[in-house]
Structure 1
Amino acid sequence: MLIENWKILLALAATAVVGGTDTSSSTLSFLPSNLQARKPKAATAPVKDQLLIDTLEALRVMQDKYFQVNAGTWPSAIDWTAAVVGTHVAGALGSLSKGLLESPVTTTCEREDFLLRENLVTLYFSQLVAFYFGQDAFSLRNQAYDDMLWVVLGWLGSAQFIESHGKSLFDSDSAAGADTVRQDIDLALGNQSWHGSIWTPPFAHRARIFWELASKGWDTTLCGGGMIWNPRLAPYKNAITNELYIAASINMYLNFPGDSSSSPFMYDPPGAWSPSAETDEWPPRDPKYLKAALDGYKWLMNSNMTNSFGLFADGFHISKGLARDNSHATDIAAGKCDQRDEMVYTYNQGVLLSGQVGLFKATGELHYLHAGHQLIQNVIRATGYDLYRDAPIDDLARLNPWELPPWSGLGRGGVLEEACDVSGECSQDAQTFKGIWMHHFTEFCAPLGGATSTPDVETVKAAHAAACQQYLGWLRHNAMAALGTRDDEGKFGMWWTAGLLNGLTTASLMQMAGPHNDTLLPPQSRPHAKGGARDVVDYRNYGVPNDPMWIVQGANVPAADSEGEDEDEDEETFNNRATGQLPIDHQGGASRLRSRGENSANLADPNNRGRGRTVETQGGGLAVLRALWELSKQADGL
């Protein structure tokens, strides 16, 4: 769908007013001592304006190029990645609502500007409503527990947007709520709410249904607690499912508006129930959600899930203590999580952040914020970025066009990266991960507001904002890298690092790698990685290995194809079948760096390899730009 007068809207967006945050009075700090006095570099006004324009353009391309109104979805996405893309749209709508509609409306000209901006927000909101019907909720009900929890976060985020946007329009003196216009509206229409509020009940209902379905994955018979990843595979307790359970549970506690529909599939039509708190069967602020988040967080933080970089490894297998029959596992001993898969993904470091800030808001306990900031700093360090110098550890300007900075644990050259990026073999799953990290980082670093019982709340808010501002240079560095991967259509690539390395091509990568040289690849991606293949299994890219550690003996799982798993098959298939041996065990560096279809365009652009540019990579580009935009608005002096 093309938007008329797009250039006019971009020009209007560039005039949006942003506010600042004064943190000079803060005495508390979430930073190491060497960073506490460092003042971050501020962006200039033209840079800020261009950032907003780039963010709007990223959203436009994602919706124009990938969303189909008739289908109500992004057809090239699979069920769980579509849920994540929907979450990106809801987050972007919240940012647009605050960034485009915060200026007062007092004149006819300002009212016309406001209507153009509100029309833009409403356009994308209508597509989000279409996705409510286009989402394959029936399929998702039968998938892994993490897939279900993405649904919870997505529709809670959409409901939050409705609440905040409605308040900005009708409950304040900003935008359409200004004096003259508000009087006209009141006289003509009476006391109305924003039209989008009619969608809050169905969105909330779907979030509740999927939280209840997913909560069945909480298991205390093995490892003393924790969520099981997939009910159809051997017990595997991974970081992402547990982080999602924490984040979804605390968001249900803080933001779930209540639900009175007893239907298991859809929301009952208006008039079939009363929305009053007295008749709600599932009320807001139910303590069970807070308890679930607290229990999940306690288990995860005591699970020994972090590696020497302070990053979360993927998860734990249970090697002993199980007897198998045809249908279930029986605990015959103290089943322990004793075999850790050391694979590291970016999103495993991100989802927990929104859980941590939510737990702080609910309890007022500062250790949740401390832990979140520490995790962010661990991630930044593992990309090869020095926060004190506010620059990459390696001087990228001194690299030859064919050289790569060294791998630092979760990236290189100061840029966030998946282990599969350099080889160009990232799966549809992995193409979604960096955007997820950026989304939850944005949630963590949003202004804290007043939802906390902390005694000195203003000091905490200031300290939190000051710490987040220290990440601004690194965030800008990543956004510029991502922008450098856009093609002529404005589509973002997967491998952001390539956007900073001028002259890097697929051909030069192949020349560096040689026929059997894997030195370019991160340790996790090298054949015969230290610790053995079982210690590092990249199942998100190469499928679930067909071995007893992953597959329940006697389970009804189809045999693997000779070609291995197709990256494009849907998530339901992925969750119900085993794949062949990992390609990582037998492919050399050059073959793994080879592009599909070695034409001149592919050889010139490393981001044309593999799956190429997709709705998932576009979501990642949108998420990093939104994160930078939101933090830039909070910076001093803006």
Structure 2
Amino acid sequence: MMVRWSKVVAFATGACASASFLPPHLANDPRNSGRTGGRAAVGPDLQLFDDTLDALRVLQDAYFEPWVGTWPSAIDWTAAVMGSHVAGALLSLSRGLELVHPGMGEGYLLKENTISLYFSQLIGFYFGQDAFAIRGQAFDDMLWVVLGWLDAIKFIDTRIGRDLGVINSATFSTGTPQNDGWHGNLWVPAFAHRARIFWELASVGWDTKLCGGGMNWNPRLTPYKNAITNELYIAGSISMYIYFPGDSNAAPFGANHGRNSPPAGASTDWKPHDPIYLTAAVDGYEWLASSNMTNSKGLYVDGFHVSGYDSGSNNTKCDERDEMVYTYNQGVILSGQLGLFQVTGNPSYLREGHRLIQNVIWATGYDLARDQPIDDLARLFLKFVPPWHGLGRAGILEEACDIKASCSQDGQTFKGIWMHHFTAFCSPLEPTTANQDTRSFDSVRTEHSIACQRYIGWLEHNAAAARGTRDSEGRFGMWWTAGLLNFTTRGLYIPPDALPDDDGAPVDDPPGGQLLIGQSVKVLPSKAGGEPAALKERSQAEFRDPNSRGRGRTVETQGGGLAVLRALWELSKQSL
């Protein structure tokens, strides 16, 4: 990361030299003797690089329309997430070129042209994005826009600073287009302006009258303080502090939204590293940490309502918790935790991020100590779909809606979001001015790297499953677990403990008993056993391909496939 600030406020600088981000049973594992977490250093996985590039190609060729500058089948917020996926993929592919194609040979030039092609489509999306419509939507919709364009700036920064090395970081402080260096630099002011506008529009959602603080989800609906809006506010705010290069463009508003208007004649310049962003991130994180928004598995639930609000009650407490668990609620906060560590030097942010990641992995049914799924999949897959563990099964990340193919367009986007922010969190740490103690920082960096390397086996398992959902055109499906199963040769029953209910918990006794996937009929046994109570014909398409059910393959599921391959590429590359 190119750090552009000269001074930060260090809330905590005492990084413990012996700190470990792994629990004791993992931290004491002799396999952690090196930075790679015990994995042998090998050459770059060229097939993984090519698969990641191909996933990006399919995302753009199959779903993006250059003439309108967007993915027409996406909705406003999922399109903003697709922009983040493209920017993230370009960042990874750009940095990987020298590993895969050292020198300036034909292969390098071919992939370099590919990166420029997809960056041009990202520029097209700047104009295709319906920015005025999103201004009237929920606060979380606005914050996806903030993160998307900051991801694009992050890619440009890295490309200029690491690949071309021709622009001094101070160049960006003026927000003025530069005509030297990589052409993408010309678009930094436009991207920064949009990020700034939408951060200010969203920031008015912060409220202290209810629940003692926190971001409200939607200004036009009953107050709801949910996890995702607050995580986006934290991640968006700290990313604005780190990556926002400044903005001198007051259009399309004459006054600053989200803060007091400047006096007449005052400058309307917005400078980089404004403390307002850092304060917002810290306040948001402290509120979320004290909000009681995690369940017994250490996972974030969806959010809080205020009981009695609609009936005129004087209650101001968040006391009605929606217990539903989604993957993306465990992901966006990771970018916020990384950013807060980068700025403050406090390793507790990293420690809490690793704890959340480990909770997620365990809730998919994967044991990091043994580096394999908890359940005996060889035995289970002879007949039954493996049991639900809270956020997946068989060691694979899932939404509760995956197995029933009932995921909405929103839900189809969630796993890719988790992978995107997990990748950001597990990026190599680089020194900043907040890390004055070199010895302590080196210890934290090493422990962070070791912990992230321990996740590679789980990532490989998930990437293999996701790859198994690709159709003949390279399009990824939503239910990654299906990539591990052979539905064409046998049916697989869903026992009660494999079917999550609306809160994401296992169903104790689903209506009708067991459900069958993978045959031409659905069997609903009677309570007493014996003959099925009902038979329902199923289409041959469902028989052959469980990912053709429901909404099928979409731009959102393709974004998820790209994100998991990119995550594996980034972490495995670090072990070289």
TM-score normalised by structure 1 residue count: 0.76
> What is the distance in 1 between the residues matched to 2:203 and 2:114?
37
What residue ranges of structure 2 are gaps of 5+ in the alignment?
1-16, 32-36, 168-177, 255-265, 523-535
Structure 1 match to 2:11: none
Residues 38 and 480 of structure 1, relative CA distance in 2, 3 Å threshold: farther
Residues 621 and 142 of structure 1, relative CA distance in 2, 3 Å threshold: same
Task: Read off the aligned partner of 1:245 and give its amino acid letter.
Answer: Y
> What is the distance in 2 between the residues matched to 1:199 and 1:347?
29
What residue ranges of structure 1 are gaps of 5+ in the alignment?
1-25, 174-189, 267-277, 325-331, 531-583
Structure 1 match to 2:94: 97
TM-score normalised by structure 2 residue count: 0.83
> What is the distance in 2 between the residues matched to 1:121 and 1:95?
10
| 2:508 matches 1:508 | no
Structure 2 match to 1:176: none
Structure 2 match to 1:494: 478
One of 345, 350, 355 as aligned partner of 2:336: 355
CA deviations over 1:448-479 (Å, ceiling 9, x no partner): 11125232211111111111011111111111
| 2:58 matches 1:61 | yes
Structure 2 match to 1:145: 139
One of 583, 601, 612 as aligned partner of 2:541: 601
Structure 1 match to 2:149: 155
Structure 2 match to 1:620: 560
One of 340, 347, 356 as aligned partner of 1:366: 347
Structure 1 match to 2:396: 415
CA deviations over 1:65-86 (Å, ceiling 9, x no partner): 1111111111111110010011
CA deviations over 1:578-610 (Å, ceiling 9, x no partner): xxxxxx9x9997599999994322221111100
How many Å apart are 1:44 and its aligned residue?
Answer: 7.9
Task: Read off the aligned partner of 1:472 and give its amino acid letter.
Answer: I
Residues 193 and 599 of structure 1, relative CA distance in 2, 3 Å threshold: same
The 5-angstrom pairing of residues 371-382 of structure 1 reads 371-382=352-363
C-alpha contact (below 8 Å) 2:496/2:506 kept by paired residues: no
Structure 1 match to 2:502: 524
One of 211, 219, 234 as aligned partner of 1:223: 211
> What is the distance in 1 between the residues matched to 2:54 and 2:323?
37
The 5-angstrom pairing of residues 103-182 of structure 1 reads 110=104, 112-171=106-165
Task: Read off the aligned partner of 2:467 and give its amino acid letter.
Answer: L
How many Å apart are 1:421 and its aligned residue?
Answer: 0.5
| 2:292 matches 1:292 | no
Secondary structure of the 2:45 match is helix
> What is the distance in 1 between the residues matched to 2:54 and 2:235?
29
> What is the distance in 1 between the residues matched to 2:447 and 2:149?
31
Structure 1 match to 2:528: none
Structure 1 match to 2:446: 462
CA deviations over 1:7-54 (Å, ceiling 9, x no partner): xxxxxxxxxxxxxxxxxxx84311112212342564785881211111
C-alpha contact (below 8 Å) 1:242/1:300 kept by paired residues: yes
How many Å apart are 1:115 and its aligned residue?
Answer: 2.9
Alpha carbon RMSD of aligned pairs, Å? Answer: 2.9
C-alpha contact (below 8 Å) 1:249/1:293 kept by paired residues: yes
One of 408, 412, 437 as aligned partner of 1:427: 408
Structure 1 match to 2:244: 256
Residues 524 and 191 of structure 1, relative CA distance in 2, 3 Å threshold: closer
Residues 203 and 150 of structure 1, relative CA distance in 2, 3 Å threshold: same
State the percentage of identical aligned residues: 61
> What is the distance in 2 between the residues matched to 1:434 and 1:299?
25
> What is the distance in 2 between the residues matched to 1:528 and 1:367?
33
Task: Read off the aligned partner of 2:82 and give its amino acid letter.
Answer: V
Residues 149 and 527 of structure 1, relative CA distance in 2, 3 Å threshold: closer
C-alpha contact (below 8 Å) 2:499/2:506 kept by paired residues: no
One of 401, 405, 414 as aligned partner of 2:386: 405
> What is the distance in 1 between the residues matched to 2:539 and 2:253?
48
Secondary structure of the 1:425 match is coil
Secondary structure of the 2:276 match is helix
Structure 2 match to 1:76: 73
C-alpha contact (below 8 Å) 1:41/1:473 kept by paired residues: no
> What is the distance in 2 between the residues matched to 1:219 and 1:208?
20
Q: Which has the larger displacement, 480-489 or 453-462?
A: 453-462
> What is the distance in 2 between the residues matched to 1:452 and 1:422?
47
